[in-house]
Amino acid sequence: MRPQLQKRLPKSFVEEILEAFHDHRILEEIAFYNFQRRISYLGERYKVRDIREALKIVGEVSHFYNEQRVHQETEQVPRKRWEEALKAGKGRLRPLEPGIDLDLVFSLPYERTVKKDGSFSFQGKEYRLRNLAGMRAIVGVIPAQKLMVIKDGQKMAEFLF
């Protein structure tokens, strides 16, 4: 038991904290807390006033944590550990194929039937798409950005909001 903690906090509370440090979730929360503190500190240091400037700092700190910093528990750099796991076939996630359209992957899908005149409606608005007249298609939505018409996994049209 750490004597400096015992003086300020009740013994049972200190024991709970020290036991919790053996739990992965607590370590992850502490790492994320440190990550947040670092970003806040750098934001104040460089007098960030714009979201683009803040995103640069987040990118730099993320790069450091993922590419350079040795993880306390695994004693490995996360990127190197990830690559080794992929080579060994242990990872459940796989890298994306080059050229994949992430908008298609992450859009919210809704099925629609294109009317015979080539129109379809979505959220009260009418859209025209003559080359799919009378067919069923998927409308992929990225909220507040765009709507895409998808047929057989291919983007057929795109409409901005």
60-116 residue pLDDT tens: 888 888 889 888 888 999 889 988 988 888 877 777 788 889 999 899 999 999 999
Question: Residue 41's pLDDT is what?
Answer: 86
Q: Are residues 7 and 63 in the same domain?
A: yes
pTM of the model: 0.47
CA distance readout (Å), 134 to 8, 51, 118, 147: 74, 45, 7, 19
Cα 135 to Cα 118: distance, rounded to the nearest angstrom:
9
The residue among 159 and 3 whose pLDDT is bigger is 159
Q: Are residues 69 and 15 in the same domain?
A: yes
Q: Are residues 54 and 107 in the same domain?
A: no
- Among the candidates 88, 122, 146, a domain finishes at 88
The residue among 52 and 18 whose pLDDT is bigger is 52
How many other CB atoms sit within 10 Å of the CB of residue 114?
Answer: 23
Asked if the structure places residue 25 within a domain, the reply is yes
Q: Into how many domains does the chain fold?
A: 2
Asked if the structure places residue 49 within a domain, the reply is yes
Asked if the structure places residue 97 within a domain, the reply is no
AA identity, residue 160? L
CB 133 within 8 A of CB 115: yes
Question: Residue 6's pLDDT is what?
Answer: 43
- Among the candidates 66, 88, 110, a domain finishes at 88
Q: Can you read off the two tokens belonging to residue 91?
A: 């990872």
Asked if the structure places residue 119 within a domain, the reply is yes
Q: Are residues 114 and 147 in the same domain?
A: yes
Q: Can you read off the two tokens belonging to residue 59?
A: 């990118």
CA distance readout (Å), 156 to 64, 107, 131: 40, 14, 9
- Is a pLDDT exceeding 80 seen at residue 31? no
Q: What is the mean pLDDT of residues 121-148?
A: 92
Q: Are residues 111 and 46 in the same domain?
A: no
- Is a pLDDT exceeding 70 seen at residue 144? yes
Q: Can you read off the two tokens belonging to residue 9?
A: 């906090």
Q: Are residues 70 and 144 in the same domain?
A: no
The residue among 18 and 118 whose pLDDT is bigger is 118
How many other CB atoms sit within 10 Å of the CB of residue 33?
Answer: 10
- Among the candidates 35, 57, 88, a domain finishes at 88
- Domain extent, residue 26, equals 3-88
Asked if the structure places residue 95 within a domain, the reply is no
Question: Residue 127's pLDDT is what?
Answer: 94
Directed axis angle between helix 51-67 and helix 78-88, to 10°? 60
AA identity, residue 34? N
Q: Are residues 60 and 134 in the same domain?
A: no
Q: Are residues 7 and 82 in the same domain?
A: yes
Q: Are residues 155 and 106 in the same domain?
A: yes
